[in-house]
Amino acid sequence: MADRIQGLHHITLCTGTAQGDANFFVKILGMNLVKRTLLYDGKEPVYHLYFSDATGSPGNLTTCFPWRRTGRKARAGSGQITLTSYTVPVDSLEFWTEHLTKKGVNILEHYERFGQKVLKMEHPDCPALHFELIEDASDTRLPFKSKYVPEKYALRGFHSWTVTARDLEDMHFFLNEGWDHKKTGTDGAFTRYEVAGGGPARIIDLLHRPDLAPGNWSYGEGMVHHGAFGVPNLEVQGQVKFDVEGLGFTDCSDVKHRGYFQSVYVRTPAGALFEATHSLGFTVDEPAETLGQAFIISPQFESQKEDLLRQLNDPIDL
Ligand SMILES: [Fe+2]
């Protein structure tokens, strides 16, 4: 079971607009746009934007489908990933409180969870999506050098994701038996699971909300569509799929080629969609020096590139 699930890889959000995402993730949180492409599924052209560090490191990769243009909205609820959390250095929340307030970000709460200081906020262009900044001294990852945020306060990548669940028992079974995570503690309504030695980007918290009606699974503005976990290679990915199906979780997809990853999706018993992903890297179709600058068309729309750019009509100013 060891060395299969390596930790958090990327999270995929359905947001409002491309510019709203660029403003929040690049100009306010200090991330780097490493890829601009399109959703690989379906006939509806929707941007797919990837925000990360300099190279698009696993564990620090927030991807967005700006969904507002379609008019479809999500319904928040249980059975979804409801918090996306990033680590920041100890003693930096004072800076972040001032910085976010100045930029018009709505800060919802300050609190402590599992003994760490947390700031919770809304996406300014898509308030249904909630994020946390968590002070964690153990995170030694190097930050992206952004012109928008001083390096000493910069985000290091994911701390954890929180899945809101009506029932904990089946999700415990899935995480423990199928996804290599071990329970490491509880704090109020939160139960913590960690994988591959634990620590930042290796944490899933379950938030127990037995009375909260389920949110939707379809794409729509204002929901986390899925969370992806790294696996070291395709052989291990196949083994994870085989074992998860063997436990009875047969809502498991075939391997899908996503250009920059190969992905297998599984619907967890809490309702949240998880992915086991094998990274192919972001330099497969553009050089490292200019990552994220060009619009890369996804294969199903290759012949319609110019038309699509006109249709999307959602330019991104960085
Ligand atoms: Fe994904």
pLDDT (tens digit per residue) in 202-260: 999 999 999 999 999 999 999 999 999 999 999 999 999 999 999 999 999 999 998 89
Q: What is the CA(317)–ligand 1 centre distance, in A?
A: 25
Buried b (16+ CB within 10 A) or exposed e, 139-148: bebebbebee
Domain segments of the chain as ranges = 7-312
Asked if the model's pLDDT at residue 136 lies above 80, the reply is yes
Q: What is the CA(11)–ligand 1 centre distance, in A?
A: 7
131, 123 contact by CB (below 8 A): yes
The percent of the chain in helix, strand and coil, each rounded to the nearest 5, is 20, 35, 40
Q: What is the CA(62)–ligand 1 centre distance, in A?
A: 10
Asked if the model's pLDDT at residue 153 lies above 60, the reply is yes
Q: Which amino acid is at 251?
A: D
Q: What is the CA(276)–ligand 1 centre distance, in A?
A: 8
pLDDT at residue number 175: 98
Q: What is the CA(279)–ligand 1 centre distance, in A?
A: 10
Asked if the model's pLDDT at residue 1 lies above 80, the reply is no
Q: What is the CA(249)–ligand 1 centre distance, in A?
A: 19
> Averaged over 19-48, what is the pLDDT?
93
Phi, psi of 20, rounded to the nearest 5 degrees: -60, -40
Q: What is the CA(56)–ligand 1 centre distance, in A?
A: 13
14, 65 contact by CB (below 8 A): yes
Which residues, 6 or more positions from 228, have their beta carbon under 8 angstroms from its beta carbon?
A: 8, 9, 10, 11, 12, 261, 263, 274, 275, 276, 277
How confident is the model over 158-176, as pLDDT tens digits?
A: 999 999 999 999 999 999 9
Q: What is the CA(226)–ligand 1 centre distance, in A?
A: 6
For the record, the structure tokens of 36 come out as: 């601009």
Range with lowest mean pLDDT among 30-34, 73-77, 102-106, 255-259: 255-259
Q: What is the CA(258)–ligand 1 centre distance, in A?
A: 8
Q: What is the CA(275)–ligand 1 centre distance, in A?
A: 6
8, 160 contact by CB (below 8 A): yes
pLDDT at residue number 2: 56
Quote the CA–CA distance of 81 and 165 in Å, as a whole number: 9
Q: What is the CATH number of domain 7-312?
A: 3.10.180.10
Chain mean pLDDT for the chain: 95
Going from the C-alpha of 74 to that of each of 128, 180, 207, 257, 272, the distances in angstroms are 9, 30, 20, 26, 14
